[in-house]
Structure 1
Amino acid sequence: MRPDARAPAAHRLERMLAALRAQTRPVSALTIVLCGEDADAAAFAAGSGAQLVLTASRTTGFAAAVHLASRSLDGDAVWLLAQDTVPEPGTLGHLADALELAPSVAVVAPKLVQAGDTARIVSLGVSTTRVGRTVGLADGEYDQGQHDGTEDVLGTDVRGILVRAAALAQLQGLDPALGGADEGLDLGVRARLAGGRVCVVSAARMAVHGDGVAGLRGVPATRSAHNTYARRRAQLHRRLAYAHVAWLPLLWLSTLPTALWRTVVQLIAKTPGRIVPEWGAALVSVVRLGAVARARARIRRARRVSWSQLAPLRVTRSQLRTGLHPDLDSSETGAPRGDLRFFSGGGAWAVLAAGVVSVAVFPSLLVWPALGGGALAPLRSTVARLWADAGFGLRPLGLDAVGPADPFSSVVAVLGTLWPGDPSRILVLLWILALPLAVLGAWFAATRLTDRSALRITAAVGWALAPTFLTALTQGRPAAVLVHLLLPWLFYAGTVAHRSWGAAGAASLVFAAVVASAPSLAPALVALWAVLLIAIGIARRGVGLVRVIWLIVPAIVLSAPLVLAQLRAGNAWGLLADPGLVWAGPQVSSDTGGRLLLAAGSPTADPGGWARLLGSGGSWPAGVPAAWLLVLLAPLGVLALLSVFTRRWLAGAAMLLVALAGTGTALAAVGIAVSVVDGAAVPLWPGAALSLAWAGVLGAAVLALDTGFALRVSPDADRALPAGRTRALGAAVVMLTLAVFALPMLTAHLRGQSDLADGPASTLPAFVTAEGRSNPDIGTVVLHPLPAGAVGAQVVWGESATLGGQSTLLATSTRISASDKSVAALAADLVTPTSSDVVSRLRADGIGFVLLAPAEPGADLSRARRLTAATALNQRDGLDAVGSTTKGDLWRVTDAVTPRAPAPGGVSATAQGIAAAQLIAIAAALLLAVPTTASRRRARHRPRVVGRRGTVPAAAPPALQVAPDATLMPAVAAGPVSPVGRPESELADAARRPVTTPAAADEEGS
């Protein structure tokens, strides 16, 4: 025995010794091995009448303790016990009778039951599959005598077994390399190979607490990482010990590749907590060849029969499938989750209607090959270059800029990959499908709030008509559009992330995409994530906490290179910059009036676009905007506020907290400017934060309509809205007022008042585009005459400046780098007639073209500067004027141009390391998100609506249970017993109990 922190060792030892004294067949001699120092336990052992008391170190395992005790044994049989075992009075008699009556039997084992619940079986025989997976034949089942006819088994639990002394000596005891797991199974296998039998005696019953030195921790064994490691290590050790000598090298070499494959399987099976134990067990098994050699030698010396004799006792695949995966659908009734009703409830019709509206309001997009205007830009022409822009290395903008890509570049690469033939066309499709996609996402998100089809449609319509979403569509803001489309799915998966790894994996991917598209949302989302962590820790006592923690891991891995680069540059504020093309589009100001508009839900100074519709030029008389907003958005806001007075007030408060986080972020963002374009600072776009706020307000309003907003007079009071007209009227008013408010924005493109444009397919002239597609290492200097008379310069590599090629690291830079100075010097020399020849520098830097962009209309200084620059470029030797294009005047370097120099040494290795880490994180999240049959079965028996109290039906216990994969921890009380003597009287059968199982536990965690 060993002292244990969970229960006093002396107390356990006292109970075990008392049970030995109560045996109807007395023990002939008792040997106690104390593994560790415990004064009380030593005193009890000294006064127990034991023939011998041995002391060993605390780290001594059960196998080693048995070996110590067996040196002094002289009886006919040995009974192996631990301090946490409590045999019933007739246990030894039944076991001894089994050995007496059957001379061929070498090992007999009792029925192990759970202490405190003796109707539940802990172990009654152990077997394996063909690949060595341990299978408990009755583990965890309620005892109703269904296995009392079982006799011959392949192996047993090591606790309480009675072994013939001669057999134990022949088999050389337990294998210490198993580390406490599968010791009884391995002993049974070797006993059968030696010609003996292994039997279980159902009449012999022994209670176990699960905290002793023998066997696995817990009753049933817990799913701790330690136990998982021990199980897997024992399985790998047995596999190498039992294998044919011809297969042994191949099995040894395949250990680590198998661990990699099982890592993927564990992620798909939603058990990531087993990955680290898997690799630990694999590494230990690879290096512990000496233990394998000793195990094989023990088997070789004792073996008398063929391995084929063991085949009938193994578990077949059909038995395993039937026992481990019962048909829950047929055995369970009253599941709380009903049909989704996407089609019958009108969800599909709402999506279809939104598609019709989208085609009606954006008809020209059906024939446009590419989308431009606002913050839109083309995508790369090939998928390979899309992903190249998303990696660490030379940036597609700047002279020799090296650094990490924005995480948004990966989002753009994923989008472009969906249309590999012409990636830029995916933006056109995104705009056409934006409204139906918004309805689809919001409808599914609403299923977490209500079962009512009408309210789900209300939420979907309200989300598609959000002012910030329609503004982003008409202004051409791709990142903001993506955020609005992704937020419902983040809510849908994130609210149940604590339940399952599948939801956690999906939510983590969406979380990473949202943060990549709107970094300014990161503080609010992390704050909400922290609140969720606290809530899970309190309400569920930490169950599912690891899954919720995983939500931010992929986002951290994707953002880490950019975060480190910005911090190294001393520009932490730059982390909030909007990704993509920097564009100073119309939005609210940071003054008091602008902030009031933000608080009311409008990201622009023209709420809903009504000023432009009425011909006011976008400006309103004082006081009018607030009046419009209050009139048209008041029903939604009032319903949201009333949600905290319903029976589901806690969920309503959570939704209002989301709204508060979004509104606070928008109010802060409008006053922050970190990006610079053409020398002018551009404030953050507050629309992404308003999308988050809109989600909270809309969700709270749906809760109010679903539950009823009468004051809660008492817990039993039910003053919900009538199920008919009142609720329908409230939903209709919300949808109607939002539709009226959104009318100008919906028709803006038809009226020619949107910023969307046809193309361009490239920001550079067609001549440069054709050259850049074949040679992406040829650069173009783009000169922009500015209104103040200055000239802006940018170096573009390849066929175009692209959406995925933008860099917030460059756009928010507060320091003038050497590359910036070089570009400034090149621009100054190019536009100055008296400057030295710079063409040779262009050729050396890999620049083959110079583009002089058109001057801004009405800017005299800009036009004058452009004329001067054009004159200087025409006079420059080595530059050949290609001509005027729609993008500006183009010159080509006549002599051969040296391709762009590769990145400095070490960049490639850094890029590969970053790419590997990011791929691993994303691949893990994807594998976790993949649904499986088991995960779908579990999901069907959990309520779809979050926060509503319900009863989850219990799952029937399986007929077979596989031990997940291991445990260490041994300790022993061993003693010789003489089987000669009068048999004990039979114990009375335990009272039969009905089959009632506890509530289904939460899905396995890490």
Structure 2
Amino acid sequence: MDTGEVDQGQYDGRGDVLAVGTAGMLVDWDTFRRLDGFDPHLGPFGDGLEFSRRVRLAGYRVMVAPHAVVYHKMAGYFGLRGPDGGRPARSARSFDPTGRDADANGKLEPNPKRSFAARRTAQLHNWMVAAPWWQFIFLPLAVLVLGALRVLWRIITKEPKLAAGEVKSTLVTVFRPFAAWQSRLRRARQSKISPRTLRPLQAKSSQIRQAKTTARRVAKDQRRPQIPDGVARRNFYTEKSLDRTLVWSVAAALILVALVGWRFAIGGVSGGALANLPASNRDFWNDLISGWIPAGLGYGSTVGAADPLGLEVASLGQVAGLVGVKGAVVLAVLLFATLPLAWLSAWWASGVLTDSRTLRALAALSWTLSPNLLVSMGLGQLPVWILAVSVPLFVGSLARGTGMPVTRTVMGEIEPVTVSVHSAAIIQVGIAALTGFLTVSASVIMVIPVVLLVGLAMLKGVANPLYVGAQAETRASTFSRIPARLRLKAVHALIVLSPAVLLALPTAMRTVSSPAQWSLWLSSLSVPLPVSMPNWWDLLTAWPLDVAATALPIALPGWQILAFLPLGLLLLTVVVGVIIPGRSTGAHWSLLFALGGVVTAWLASSTPVSVSGADAVCAWGGPGLAVFHAGLITSALFSMGRLELTMPVEIANWSNRSAKAVVAAALLIPVLGATPVLVNQFAAPADSGFNALKTFREASLPATVAQGQSSPRHLRALNLEVASAPHQSTLVTASLWRDWRDTTFEASPYLKLKNYRNVTGSRTPDAADAVLQTTVAAVLGGSTPKLGEQLAQLNVNFIIVPPSRDAATTALVNTLDSAAPLERITTTEAGTVWRLADSATASLARIAPAQWKGGHPSWPTGEVKAQALNVRGGKARVPEGPAGRLLALSERADSSFTVRFNGKIIDPVETGQWNALYQLPPSSGTVTITYAYLPHQLWGAVLLVSLLIALAAALPLRRVSEVRL
């Protein structure tokens, strides 16, 4: 203390620190001038840290007086001051995701995010200045890499403006190296002690982690509803606990129902309309990226020909195959998870329309135990399984994305208290984009309701009261669920629509260029399965087949009445709710969607899209019925809002109590309606007309055939099924198997429609289809001189005839037994199997000496035999041979194939054949075969980017929720 100075504690607690800020800094003027002042390359941020470091290294001390009081407005930090000292520019103000950046008086609210770019630039500059020399050399590259990662992280955390700040600060730091160099030289010139002396003053990494953990914990606590009323707070959390108990108890019960009813599928499931997943192999990913469809003789140069849902579940099967889980088990898991996931998603979605526990449970049970879903589960209609989960999630997240809150009305100390929780809009928008994509993947026609719903969400007041006076007549205890100001932002609508619209774009372009393929809009992923066509009453009660024509082993008395009861009562409720004047147009809009869904289901059920034996198979009406049922439930929830079921029981009158009792009793209706299906599923699933699934058996594909398919020669099997046709004739259906029979590739709508049009004669078969028909005719004709070569050129090494005792099948077996190029190898549950006697001739790629006539080569079909090549990863080793020899691919000719010999591209020889031929040089070498269809890859890249944006938006990071009382 100085002489005469009074001890008032002004020096108590002083201590050395690494740095202090320039606001309130006291520095000796001579020292300030000796150290050349603050760094001119730094603005108002980071200058105190850089100057304090130089002060320390120059031999001075940096101290802090804790009891000193300095008032600092921090206008620059909170973005209240622009670069010129005035207000910030308009473009730099809007960081609030709700758009409320100013108070009621128009005064700009403090927000530190506005100054982020300047602070981050100063931080990087200080890093460049303080780093050791050996690190400084690599720092620009490190800053670039770190900047890219931080930009990605800011996008994931839904902070796009901060991502722009990251880009700006990174580029300024990297492309302004002389600024850091000058600062480092000045620091080195003024330093008198080693920089190591600063280490004890620096914060440790553990302290930084602890500070971040504390900040996250505080933010999490702030997101919790803060309810001042103690009674209301206690009741609120009690209600939430009851909801959780109910939800998870019902979900567990539904899992048990699925396990018992479909117990035969525990080890794997197949059959019905359920397509098998391709076996695990690395060629799947190459085909997925390139656009090649490995079905039949191959398909390419077509965008979106493979079914999106088929690719998604097949990709899931490939990932599961890495840990030894078979595709049939993956399908079984999806089957068992459908009911509980449908219940959970429907419960979650209904929360934006009502907070009545019984009403939400009734809506969710009606959706989960829908006849459409139960029958689709039994028959293996996978798209409806997916829609049962994705449709409620899409609708619920889209509603929350517009700003609709989830409310809860509980009794407080004196009066009811309504707690409204507003979810982060961007997260809900991301969920809507992903679930909308999944919805359109299941059925491309679903893009229409998806687009319409997004369009309605962008309009203000779509579901507002019908009459202006309705709100004025509403009592204070009635809470309006859809305020007029709520709507979906244009940017959010673009995020939601991009994946779904891009997914449906190829189908739209295909039907515009070829109107005869319009039925692709109604078809979905499934193996052709003939079912009885439903009538209008079946469709209006959400049954996708003819209930009267369905046989049940256990026919309960009046089971058809029970089957029609749930949807019949729901339809009646909706009609009454729409007729009686109400306060919301939401019921009317929902009914319009429901009518569109039932019309779509009728159109699908009467439109043939595939063929099974001699029968034309119509599209499955399940997707349309899903829209129909969802529209009815939503309309009913809107209409029931007038019953005031959310009124706390403490103040509810007799009408409220009676309405709650009726809704609680109605919970039994969906259960009773599902009883006929579930009882037969529990007791005799194999005999039920509502079930076509069965246990997956490895014997469905003989081991010899499976080994040949997975070999380097990629051998194929020709399956011949004999069926009765009209006019006492016999029909032989032929199909090429590259993998398990009826995989997701063969079950795609594009390939099913192509086969149907070939059979009906509405389409002229191409060269590959004609060759297959000719080869099948040769097989049915018995032993011919060219039969072996005809099969080998298709890479067919096996022929399978399923077991049957009819005379036509017996005659076919005898014919194949007498064919010289064939030899019977086994008879299994899959049928009788033959293979080529000279099995060395079949392969994906073969070479043979050419036969040239008139300057044009032709593939040898005489005494000269082709040599099979082993192809691994698209590469094959070719031995020496004669000049002019040809390489033949057993794939449909396509200009997107590229063949290289020792790295040099070889052009195909134009011969007009169904497959491509390539002339090889006589020397030995390596042949590389690749396929890449650029339009498919560009479309896939754009689609992938839109999905990544949606995924980044959906991740629950830096979530912001607002609670209002």
TM-score category of the 2 structures, normalised to the smaller one: 0.5 to 0.7
Which amino acid counterpart does residue 226 of structure 2 have in structure 1?
T
* Aligned counterparts of 2:74 and 2:167: Cα–Cα separation in 1: 37
Structure 1 residue 583: deviation in Å? 1.6
Residue 397 (structure 1) aligns with: 295
* Aligned counterparts of 1:155 and 1:226: Cα–Cα separation in 2: 20
The partner residue of 1:223 within 76, 95, 98 is 95
Is 1:633–2:567 an aligned residue pair?
yes
Would the alpha carbon gap of residues 837 and 868 (structure 1) be closer, same or farther in structure 2, given more than 3 Å must change? farther
**TM-score, normalising length: structure 1:** 0.63
Would the alpha carbon gap of residues 805 and 412 (structure 1) be closer, same or farther in structure 2, given more than 3 Å must change? farther
* Aligned counterparts of 1:783 and 1:364: Cα–Cα separation in 2: 28
Report 1:583-622 matches (<5 A). 583-588=528-533, 594-595=535-536, 597-606=538-547
Ranked by relative contact order (alpha carbons within 8 Å, sequence separation 6 or more), the top structure is 1
Is 1:742–2:674 an aligned residue pair?
yes
Find the residue that maps to 1:511 and give its secondary structure: helix
Is 1:581–2:581 an aligned residue pair?
no
* Aligned counterparts of 1:445 and 1:407: Cα–Cα separation in 2: 25
Write the deviation string for residues 571-628 of structure 1: whole angstroms up to 9, x where unpaired: 7636525343332432536xxxx34542443322327969997699xxx9xxx99x98
Would the alpha carbon gap of residues 272 and 595 (structure 1) be closer, same or farther in structure 2, given more than 3 Å must change? farther
Structure 1 residue 703: deviation in Å? 4.8
Would the alpha carbon gap of residues 183 and 748 (structure 1) be closer, same or farther in structure 2, given more than 3 Å must change? same
Which amino acid counterpart does residue 633 of structure 1 have in structure 2?
L
Kindly report the root-mean-square deviation, in angstroms, between the aligned alpha carbons of the 2 structures.
Answer: 5.0
Given that 2:265 and 2:696 are in contact with CA atoms closer than 8 Å, whether structure 1 keeps it comes out as: no
Given that 2:597 and 2:628 are in contact with CA atoms closer than 8 Å, whether structure 1 keeps it comes out as: yes
Is 1:431–2:335 an aligned residue pair?
yes
Report 1:591-990 matches (<5 A). 594-595=535-536, 597-606=538-547, 633-641=567-575, 649=584, 652-653=587-588, 655-656=590-591, 658-675=593-610, 681-705=616-640, 707-708=642-643, 722-733=655-666, 735-749=667-681, 750-751=683-684, 752-754=687-689, 755-761=691-697, 763-773=700-710, 777-785=714-722, 787=725, 789-803=730-744, 806-813=747-754, 816-833=765-782, 837-853=786-802, 864=808, 870=813, 872-895=815-838, 896-901=840-845, 902=874, 904-905=897-898, 907=931, 922=947, 925-926=950-951, 928-932=953-957, 934-935=958-959, 938-939=960-961, 941-942=962-963, 951=964
Which amino acid counterpart does residue 795 of structure 2 have in structure 1?
G
Would the alpha carbon gap of residues 383 and 280 (structure 1) be closer, same or farther in structure 2, given more than 3 Å must change? farther
Would the alpha carbon gap of residues 802 and 275 (structure 1) be closer, same or farther in structure 2, given more than 3 Å must change? farther
Residue 410 (structure 1) aligns with: 311
Find the residue that maps to 2:133 and give its secondary structure: coil
Residue 464 (structure 1) aligns with: 368
Structure 1 residue 468: deviation in Å? 0.8
Given that 2:788 and 2:836 are in contact with CA atoms closer than 8 Å, whether structure 1 keeps it comes out as: yes
Residue 44 (structure 2) aligns with: 184
Structure 1's unaligned 5+ residue stretches are 1-128, 131-151, 177-181, 711-717, 858-862, 943-950, 953-1006
Structure 1 residue 375: deviation in Å? 0.3
Write the deviation string for residues 129-170 of structure 1: whole angstroms up to 9, x where unpaired: 99xxxxxxxxxxxxxxxxxxxxx942569xxx9999997998
Given that 1:831 and 1:872 are in contact with CA atoms closer than 8 Å, whether structure 2 keeps it comes out as: yes
The partner residue of 2:133 within 241, 245, 261 is 245
Write the deviation string for residues 669-708 of structure 1: whole angstroms up to 9, x where unpaired: 3454444555865433221221122123223334544651
Would the alpha carbon gap of residues 155 and 874 (structure 1) be closer, same or farther in structure 2, given more than 3 Å must change? farther
Structure 1 residue 424: deviation in Å? 0.4
Structure 1 residue 189: deviation in Å? 4.8
Identity %: 21
Structure 1 residue 882: deviation in Å? 2.8
Structure 1 residue 827: deviation in Å? 1.9
Report 1:481-630 matches (<5 A). 481-498=385-402, 499-500=423-424, 501-535=426-460, 545-555=490-500, 573=518, 575-576=520-521, 578-588=523-533, 594-595=535-536, 597-606=538-547
Would the alpha carbon gap of residues 908 and 680 (structure 1) be closer, same or farther in structure 2, given more than 3 Å must change? same
Given that 1:505 and 1:929 are in contact with CA atoms closer than 8 Å, whether structure 2 keeps it comes out as: yes
Given that 1:406 and 1:562 are in contact with CA atoms closer than 8 Å, whether structure 2 keeps it comes out as: no
* Aligned counterparts of 1:598 and 1:872: Cα–Cα separation in 2: 47
Find the residue that maps to 1:850 and give its secondary structure: strand
Residue 849 (structure 2) aligns with: none
Structure 1 residue 257: deviation in Å? 2.7
Given that 1:705 and 1:730 are in contact with CA atoms closer than 8 Å, whether structure 2 keeps it comes out as: no
Find the residue that maps to 1:534 and give its secondary structure: coil
Structure 1 residue 799: deviation in Å? 4.3
The partner residue of 1:154 within 2, 6, 21 is 21
Write the deviation string for residues 399-428 of structure 1: whole angstroms up to 9, x where unpaired: 132365321123323653568423202333
Deviates more, 1:803-812 or 1:218-227: 218-227
* Aligned counterparts of 2:354 and 2:675: Cα–Cα separation in 1: 28
* Aligned counterparts of 1:162 and 1:741: Cα–Cα separation in 2: 84
Residue 979 (structure 1) aligns with: none
Given that 1:851 and 1:889 are in contact with CA atoms closer than 8 Å, whether structure 2 keeps it comes out as: yes
Write the deviation string for residues 892-933 of structure 1: whole angstroms up to 9, x where unpaired: 01221443245822625868877776666555544544434x
Given that 1:520 and 1:577 are in contact with CA atoms closer than 8 Å, whether structure 2 keeps it comes out as: yes
Structure 1 residue 780: deviation in Å? 1.1
Write the deviation string for residues 328-358 of structure 1: whole angstroms up to 9, x where unpaired: 6379721897453366652233233334444
Structure 1 residue 667: deviation in Å? 4.2
Is 1:352–2:252 an aligned residue pair?
yes
* Aligned counterparts of 1:856 and 1:447: Cα–Cα separation in 2: 57
* Aligned counterparts of 1:837 and 1:324: Cα–Cα separation in 2: 75
Would the alpha carbon gap of residues 546 and 300 (structure 1) be closer, same or farther in structure 2, given more than 3 Å must change? farther
Given that 1:171 and 1:191 are in contact with CA atoms closer than 8 Å, whether structure 2 keeps it comes out as: no
* Aligned counterparts of 2:461 and 2:37: Cα–Cα separation in 1: 50
Write the deviation string for residues 210-242 of structure 1: whole angstroms up to 9, x where unpaired: 567458546984439998767655654554355
Find the residue that maps to 1:588 and give its secondary structure: coil
Structure 1 residue 776: deviation in Å? 7.9
* Aligned counterparts of 1:671 and 1:168: Cα–Cα separation in 2: 90
Would the alpha carbon gap of residues 772 and 313 (structure 1) be closer, same or farther in structure 2, given more than 3 Å must change? closer
Structure 1 residue 568: deviation in Å? 7.8
Would the alpha carbon gap of residues 202 and 427 (structure 1) be closer, same or farther in structure 2, given more than 3 Å must change? closer
Would the alpha carbon gap of residues 812 and 503 (structure 1) be closer, same or farther in structure 2, given more than 3 Å must change? same
Which amino acid counterpart does residue 332 of structure 2 have in structure 1?
V
Residue 240 (structure 2) aligns with: 340
Which amino acid counterpart does residue 828 of structure 1 have in structure 2?
A
**TM-score, normalising length: structure 2:** 0.66
* Aligned counterparts of 1:815 and 1:231: Cα–Cα separation in 2: 68
Structure 1 residue 803: deviation in Å? 3.5
* Aligned counterparts of 2:161 and 2:516: Cα–Cα separation in 1: 37
Would the alpha carbon gap of residues 769 and 219 (structure 1) be closer, same or farther in structure 2, given more than 3 Å must change? closer
* Aligned counterparts of 1:274 and 1:826: Cα–Cα separation in 2: 64
Given that 1:782 and 1:851 are in contact with CA atoms closer than 8 Å, whether structure 2 keeps it comes out as: yes
* Aligned counterparts of 1:448 and 1:414: Cα–Cα separation in 2: 34
Which amino acid counterpart does residue 689 of structure 1 have in structure 2?
G
* Aligned counterparts of 1:238 and 1:571: Cα–Cα separation in 2: 67
Residue 147 (structure 2) aligns with: 259
* Aligned counterparts of 1:681 and 1:298: Cα–Cα separation in 2: 85
Given that 1:779 and 1:846 are in contact with CA atoms closer than 8 Å, whether structure 2 keeps it comes out as: yes
Residue 202 (structure 1) aligns with: 71
* Aligned counterparts of 1:238 and 1:557: Cα–Cα separation in 2: 46
Structure 2's unaligned 5+ residue stretches are 1-16, 97-112, 403-422, 463-482, 646-650, 755-762, 846-873, 875-890, 892-896, 899-929
Find the residue that maps to 1:809 and give its secondary structure: helix
Given that 1:847 and 1:897 are in contact with CA atoms closer than 8 Å, whether structure 2 keeps it comes out as: no
Which amino acid counterpart does residue 749 of structure 2 have in structure 1?
T
